[in-house]
Amino acid sequence: DCHRNESQRELEMGTKPHFVVIPWLATSHMIPIVDIACLLAAHGAAVTVITTPANAQLVQSRVDRAGDQGASRITVTTIPFPAAEAGLPEGCERVDHVPSPDMVPSFFDAAMQFGDAVAQHCRRLTGPRRPSCLIAGISHTWAHVLARELGAPCFIFHGFCAFSLLCCEYLHAHRPHEAVSSPDELFDVPTLPPFECRLTRRQLPLQFLPSCPVEYRMREFREFELAADGIVVNSFEELERDSAARLAAATGKKVFAVGPVSLCCSPPLDDPRAASDDDAKRCMAWLDAKKARSVLYVSFGSAGRMAPAQLMQLGVALVSCPWPVLWVIKGAGSLPGDVKEWLRENTDADGVADSQCLALRGWAPQVAILSHRAVGGFVTHCGWGSTLESVAAGVPMAAWPFTAEQFVNEKLIVDVLGIGVSIGVTKPTGGMLTAGGGGEETAEVGTEQVKRALNSLMDGGVEGEERAKKVNELKAKAYAALEKEGSSYMNLEKLILSAV
């Protein structure tokens, strides 16, 4: 049987393009790019996802969600990752698992060696298994050289939205950040006129920061971007106005918006109540006991850690607001004793049904949380994955950007789309690659400022209703984009055609 399945797979591969998908080694990156692999398979393409042994389970679990049809066309291949050789802890195979920011450069070195091994593997794939197209995460900068050697096109996946990629193109071309005299001086980045987009140097994506710890790698990123044959984005054309078309014009490359990929798998499989994870079950049961649209969901992505002083200011606002709060805290173990104590006294960690503030320490089932009827607002760091998941669930946001391109996403959420409010953060307050790994030691945003934003998010009167209406309209458009003949559906077909 096993043999027959294998031959069937080979047969199919002979007639359909074979995509080799190489996710960048970061949790939040792997989620959407593996979902893209699932979508490709659902559209009939053969797909091989190449990852490292420690990431195989995460990849395989998402592939399994793709249902029989899709999953049977996907092969997950693992190639060893030289963590120990690079001086990293054994099994450290994701950048968000690197124990300290000064070890990030070693992680990138190991990822380059991983690239050599992937190239060797791909050269051996012949006949129907010969790669007809590569889709690689931005940090696998070696992928375009490999693709060229294999005679296959190479598409890049950043994990950014088209709007922020367009903004980066403007920064590369016009370099307005180099003309200002201080890191806090505002300058224009006219990404999508007539919308105003004013940023400071501190708020720019990493590659534009003078203090970037992996600056030399950033130059390689740019070379990869320029060499790639196209850009795949987890977004849908109706969302970002004409950002995708403008990005195509600015780069001269094909841009394929194929999302929102969080909607690609059937909801029952995604339901954490069916999983064995107790935390997820408790969290869903807690939500079940709450009124519709009454809960504030607060989470800052897969790695976002807030400095203790800032966390306390946020925490005081959360426990004193009139709405039930579901708060995901990363890195709680390394908080100072007094903050831990405060959390223990003021929040609930066990999901007692009538508690007011449930603080989750582990991995939250975010997509299920956002689509729960009880959730009425999302305080987010504006990571693109979270932003799009919120749109797909029709949940308005309060923007608290941490780092990377999140300040740009905030402009899209608040100013362009009108589906969120700004907390008013002016500089990075957290994130893996920022100073100290956790941002400033003092809090920029005080409790009262947080409360004002939460009020406007959850009880914003006419403006609040307008935001809710807009985000629900976008939710409907998100579903429509993925349906047959929808824009994302058609872009996926185009992506497959461009690989044949």
H helices within 359-405, ranges in order?
366-370, 384-393
22: part of which helix (H) or strand (E)?
strand 18-22
- CA-CA distances (angstroms) from residue 474 to 86, 175, 479? 45, 33, 9
CB of 300 to ligand UDP, least distance (A): 7
Among 23, 115, 131, 383, binds ligand UDP (CB under 6 A): 383
438: part of which helix (H) or strand (E)?
none
70 vs 301, which CB is nearer to ligand UDP?
301
Of 105-113, 168-176, 219-227, 382-390, the segment contacting ligand UDP by CB under 6 A is 382-390
The dihedrals phi and psi of 358, each to the nearest 5 degrees, come to -95, 120
CB of 434 to ligand UDP, least distance (A): 12
CB of 109 to ligand UDP, least distance (A): 22
* Rg for the chain, CA atoms, rounded: 22
Question: In the 8-state DSSP scheme, what is residue 334?
Answer: G
- Give the length of the chain: 500
Q: What is the largest CA-CA distance in the chain?
A: 68
Q: Label the pairing between strands 375-380 and 295-299.
A: parallel
Q: How far is CA 333 from the centre of its chain?
A: 24
CA angle 128, 51, 4 (to 5 degrees): 40
Site for ligand UDP in 96-155 (CB under 6 A): none
Of 42-50, 384-392, 452-460, 487-495, the segment contacting ligand UDP by CB under 6 A is 384-392
Site for ligand UDP in 385-444 (CB under 6 A): 385-386, 389
66 vs 364, which CB is nearer to ligand UDP?
364
Binding mask 175-214 for ligand UDP (x = CB under 6 A): ----------------------------------------
Q: Does 479 bind ligand UDP (CB under 6 A)?
A: no
CB of 382 to ligand UDP, least distance (A): 8
34 vs 189, which CB is nearer to ligand UDP?
34
133 vs 359, which CB is nearer to ligand UDP?
359
Nearest to 368 by CA among 352, 398, 389, 348: 389
18 vs 305, which CB is nearer to ligand UDP?
305
Number of residues that bind ligand UDP (CB under 6 A): 17
Which residues neighbour 26 within 8 Å (Cβ) at sequence distance 6 or greater?
A: 94, 95, 96, 137, 302, 303
CB of 386 to ligand UDP, least distance (A): 3
Beta-carbon count within 10 A of 122 CB: 24
Question: In the 8-state DSSP scheme, what is residue 365?
Answer: -
Of 98-106, 149-157, 377-385, 435-443, the segment contacting ligand UDP by CB under 6 A is 377-385
CB of 408 to ligand UDP, least distance (A): 13
Q: How far is CA 278 from the centre of its chain?
A: 25
CA angle 29, 304, 222 (to 5 degrees): 45
Number of H helices, E strands in the chain: 19, 15
CB of 174 to ligand UDP, least distance (A): 26
Q: Does 367 bind ligand UDP (CB under 6 A)?
A: yes
**Integer Cα distance of 76 and 48 in angstroms:** 6
CB of 360 to ligand UDP, least distance (A): 7
**Integer Cα distance of 239 and 487 in angstroms:** 11
Binding mask 2-41 for ligand UDP (x = CB under 6 A): --------------------------x--x----------
Instruction: Return the residue nearest ligand UDP (CB atom).
Output: 383
Sign of CA dihedral 12, 14, 16, 21: positive
CB of 388 to ligand UDP, least distance (A): 8
Q: Do 374 and 294 contact (CB within 8 A), yes or no?
A: yes
Among 364, 413, 417, 419, binds ligand UDP (CB under 6 A): 364
Q: Do 380 and 387 contact (CB within 8 A), yes or no?
A: yes
Q: Do 42 and 264 contact (CB within 8 A), yes or no?
A: yes
CB of 371 to ligand UDP, least distance (A): 11
132 vs 243, which CB is nearer to ligand UDP?
243
**Integer Cα distance of 467 and 421 in angstroms:** 9
Site for ligand UDP in 302-341 (CB under 6 A): 302-304, 328
169 vs 270, which CB is nearer to ligand UDP?
270
CB of 406 to ligand UDP, least distance (A): 8
CB of 442 to ligand UDP, least distance (A): 23
Site for ligand UDP in 250-309 (CB under 6 A): 299, 301-304
Site for ligand UDP in 44-83 (CB under 6 A): none
Strands (E), 54-166: 74-78, 133-137, 154-157
- Token pair 């920022």: residue: 434
Of 66-74, 98-106, 149-157, 363-371, the segment contacting ligand UDP by CB under 6 A is 363-371
Which spans of this chain sit near ligand UDP (rule: CB under 6 A)? Answer: 28, 31, 299, 301-304, 328, 363-364, 366-367, 383-386, 389
